[in-house]
Every structure is written in structure tokens, then in C-alpha cells.
Amino acid sequence: MELAKYIDHTALKPETTPADVEQLCKEALEYRFAAVCVNPVYVPLAARMLKESGVLTATVVGFPLGASASEIKAHEAAYAIEQGAGEIDMVMAIGLFKGGDRAAVGRDIAAVVKAAGNHPVKVIIETCFLGRDEIVEVCRIAANNGAAFVKTSTGFGPRGASVEDVIAMKEAVGGRCHIKASGGIRTREQALAMIAAGATRIGTSAGVSIVKGA
């Protein structure tokens, strides 16, 4: 299996520097990862380094809390695309979902999908805060509102992805969108387990060691 094509090579920590992003992009070009995923301030740098390489520039919206107004998320997505982003990883309105306002969650996702145009949107559902039935429900909301992917985690919650999360997500979307597993995936074995469960993309800062099998 060519693991590199599954990986979004990621650097989203607050202390990430331009030099870190440059190194991330060099590694992505060397190993032919699917994408790099960086904070919005670094989209122009990553897009410039990855131009015409086939490696996509992804960025995050409403990150990491999902608590921005929908209008702000939509504008953030549109601006990131203007700056060169090819994919958008948005955090859903977690608190609104937990509070029972499913319609608002759907509108929030739909606003970002509309702003992104033909650029894929990955909806981060932050599975650490959800029970299995909630995971299934929110994945269906995301799929119904145009998400290209549902994604497990920001990496900032109390836990990251699990195989059980991915299985539940796959059941929920029924092939209508892809699944990205992220958060705490550090080894080749973990990545392969997520893919076997149904993930078609892996978000990790350990992409190099994963593909090298270290």
C-alpha cells in the first residue's frame, strides 16, 4: 500500500513557524503526500512551495473550537481559497450540536461548503465529545450539507481518532463522503488500522516516520 497518498502532512500547533512550514512542504514534496495542512496564516507560503506539484494545500477554518459565527467561517474559507488553499478543514459548531440545534449545525456546514465552491470541505466533528449515536447523526448532517469528508478530530481535544470512531462514521455516511482520521496517529500500524476501518485520508504530523515505517 502506498501510504503517502493517504496522508495530510500537518503542522497546526500555535508555535509553528514559517521555517516549520517550509520543512513540512519539503517533506510533502519528497514523499508525495496528498496534502499539507497548515494554519491560515501559512496558506500563501505553502501554496507557493507546492505550486503545480500535485500536493494540495489544506487549511483549517473555525479552528480548533468551531465556535466562530457561520459568516466568519464562510469568509475565512473563501479568503483561504483566494490565498491558494485547495481544501478546507472546518470545525463544526460543536456546542450548538450538543445543545440540540441540528438545523444550525447544518446551516454552518452549508455556509462553508458554499463559500468553498468546488474545493472539498472536510468537517471536523471532534469525536472525543460525542457518543456513537451522535457521531452517526452529525456525520449524516455533514453529508447532507455537502461535506466531501467527515474528519474525526482537531488534535486539540482530550483524545484523538479511534478505529471505533471511523467505523461509526463509515456506517453513517454510507459512501456519500470520505473519512479523514486525525489526532494521535503516530505509527504505521495506527494509520493502516484507520484505513482498514474506512478512512481514506490520515491527518498526522508524523507522516515521514509513518511512511518510513519507523
Task: Tell me, yes or no, if 89 is annotated catalytic.
Answer: yes
Task: Tell me, yes or no, if 180 is annotated catalytic.
Answer: yes
Task: Tell me, yes or no, if 151 is annotated catalytic.
Answer: yes
Quote the DSSP letter at residue 212: H
Quote the cell numbers at residue 181. 482520521
Q: Which of 8, 73, 122, 151 is catalytic?
A: 151
The phi and psi torsions of 101 (rounded to 5 degrees) equal -90, 75
The SS3 call for residue 141 is helix
Q: Which of 73, 122, 170, 180 is catalytic?
A: 180
The phi and psi torsions of 195 (rounded to 5 degrees) equal -65, -40
Q: Give the residue among 145, 113, 196, 189 at the shortest CA–CA distance from 204.
A: 189
Contact assessment for residue 193 and residue 165, using Cβ atoms and an 8 Å cutoff: no
Q: Which of 8, 73, 89, 122 is catalytic?
A: 89
Q: What residues act catalytically?
A: 89, 151, 180
